[in-house]
A and B are shown apart, each in its own frame.
Chain A
Amino acid sequence: MLEIENIIFPANLGEALATVRGIPGSVVLGGCGYLRLGSRKIRTAIDLARLGLDKIVETADTVEIGAMVTLRDVETDALTVGLAGGVLAKSVENIVGVQLRKCVTLGGSVAGRYPFSDPITALMAVDAELLFHGRGVISLQDYLEGKWGRDILVKIIVPKRQWIAAFTSVRKSVTDYAVLNCAVSKSGQDYRVVVGSRPSRALRVTTAENFLRENGLTKKSAVRAGELAAESLQFGDNPRGSGEYRKKICPVLVKRALLEVLDAA
């Protein structure tokens, strides 16, 4: 059970950052969905709900999604639905139900670096960047790979390119965590192939990306890119599936996603 002793509503991001860095053990609250699954006692919780981080904004070169935007808004907002063929919107649509998605946030999903995450896989395929109040802008990939100090995630930034993208996953039941998820994208002759929930975190598969760049996307190359992904990545066991099973379904998911992109191109 989650117990929160004291909630602070900082007046601005500076105060939020000073609190998270100044009070050991203090915890930033997103939608509380994942925090609530654990059993912990939080002495000081920092609530970002009054800082206006719940907006999705378009600039000339980017779509910027505030950290407190809910997954339901990601799923339904015209800007995210229209972004890269709706790959991000599609990645969240099977996360439990509309009511949970209206509670949990994209910022919490990203900041938590959950290896099973569906939106992280989709965001990797469109080169998302993150704005932290303390450290500034870093790529999502660097954030996932690095060790970073305590900070406040302000927004998720997706560069606007001519992305054609697709998301696929295998789940034991529609609303369960993914056994494996995959997102691919094409922008000109540039490709991204990302596989997550392996069950460890999402990774780009550069062997498959380079192969597609050199050979172009066809029905045949989609099959080979899927095989390359399965050969290049490590897969592990968890209660949702074995590593062996994941390795078997990986080529299928990658191929399906690439064929969707081929159809849309």
Chain B
Amino acid sequence: MQLETTINGNKIVLDFAGGEFLAETLRRYGYLSVKEGCDTGSCGLCTVWLDGAPVLSCTTLTARMEDHEITTIEALNVEAEEFAQFLVAEGAEQCGFCAPGFTMTVLAMRRELKHPTVESINHYLAGNLCRCSGYKGQMRAIVKYMGVE
């Protein structure tokens, strides 16, 4: 099948098998920041934005992407770098496999939560799992990044 969509601001015609999911398509097209972990909707590693909202690309059908805007972390380098400094400062970065999906959720959260609290941050990030960090360092970094008093 073929369809036209927008990835990171660029219009592109995608070739894909009928029942393909977006994570697989994006990786085939070279967007290797998009990781596949559980592949069943549980871990958040595959998070990308669809029309500005975070979604799981492992659970999103490519066939539905006609005339939509997909964003991967490749388009958000500057913001991602800024957030990464907060993680590094708290020693919260380990193997980094979860980082692209996690960062996509954090950057979406920063846009969406007008008055962030520790509770609302925890709630927003509940769908991102990390095998290494134990979450504490990440949380210290995020609280500072989000400007929570």
**Cβ contact within 8 Å between B61 and A100:** no
Known contacts A96-B41, A98-B105; A103/B59 CB under 8 A: yes
Q: Which of B46-100 contact A (CB under 8 A)?
A: 47, 50, 53-56, 58-61, 63-64
Assembly CA distance A207 to B130 (angstroms): 45
**Cβ contact within 8 Å between A97 and B64:** no
**Cβ contact within 8 Å between B59 and A104:** yes
**Cβ contact within 8 Å between A42 and B59:** no
**Cβ contact within 8 Å between B18 and A5:** yes
**Cβ contact within 8 Å between A103 and B19:** no
**Of B59, B105, B127, which one neighbours A36 at CB under 8 angstroms?**
B59
Residues of B within 8 A of A103 (CB): 41, 55-56, 59-60
**Cβ contact within 8 Å between A97 and B126:** yes
Assembly CA distance A189 to B47 (angstroms): 46
Q: Which of B25-60 contact A (CB under 8 A)?
A: 39-42, 44, 47, 50, 53-56, 58-60
Residues of A within 8 A of B21 (CB): 32, 36
- B145 contacts the other chain (Cβ, under 8 Å)? no
**Cβ contact within 8 Å between B19 and A45:** yes
- A49 contacts the other chain (Cβ, under 8 Å)? yes
**Cβ contact within 8 Å between A47 and B61:** yes
**Cβ contact within 8 Å between B40 and A7:** no
Shortest Cβ distance from residue B36 to the other chain A in the assembled complex, whole angstroms = 12
Shortest Cβ distance from residue A191 to the other chain B in the assembled complex, whole angstroms = 30
Please report the total number of A residues contacting B with Cβ < 8 Å: 31
Shortest Cβ distance from residue A48 to the other chain B in the assembled complex, whole angstroms = 10
Shortest Cβ distance from residue B74 to the other chain A in the assembled complex, whole angstroms = 18
Q: Which of A89-137 contact B (CB under 8 A)?
A: 93-94, 96-100, 102-104
**Cβ contact within 8 Å between B128 and A97:** yes
Interface centre among B1, B47, B108, B127 (most CB of A within 10 A): B127
**Cβ contact within 8 Å between B40 and A37:** yes
Assembly CA distance A45 to B18 (angstroms): 10
Per-residue CB contact flags for chain A residues 1-40 toward chain B (1 = under 8 Å, else 0) read: 1111111010000000000000000000101110011000
- A175 contacts the other chain (Cβ, under 8 Å)? yes
**Cβ contact within 8 Å between A96 and B19:** no
**Cβ contact within 8 Å between B126 and A96:** yes
**Of B47, B59, B105, B123, which one neighbours A32 at CB under 8 angstroms?**
B59
Q: Which of A161-210 contact B (CB under 8 A)?
A: 174-175
* Identity of the chain A residue whose Cβ is nearest the Cβ of B53 in the assembled complex: A102
Known contacts A37-B41, A99-B105; A29/B61 CB under 8 A: yes
**Cβ contact within 8 Å between B19 and A98:** no
Residues of A within 8 A of B55 (CB): 99, 102-103
**Cβ contact within 8 Å between B19 and A2:** yes
Shortest Cβ distance from residue A13 to the other chain B in the assembled complex, whole angstroms = 18
A–B Cβ pairs within 8 angstroms, 19 of them: A1-B39, A5-B19, A6-B19, A7-B61, A37-B41, A45-B18, A97-B124, A97-B125, A97-B126, A97-B127, A98-B54, A98-B108, A98-B126, A100-B42, A100-B59, A102-B53, A103-B59, A174-B126, A175-B126
A residues engaging B (CB < 8 A)?
A: 1-7, 9, 29, 31-33, 36-37, 42, 45, 47, 49, 72, 93-94, 96-100, 102-104, 174-175
| Beyond known contacts A36-B41, A96-B42, A102-B50: 10 more, CB 8 A cutoff | A2-B19, A4-B18, A7-B1, A32-B61, A36-B21, A94-B126, A96-B127, A97-B105, A97-B125, A99-B55
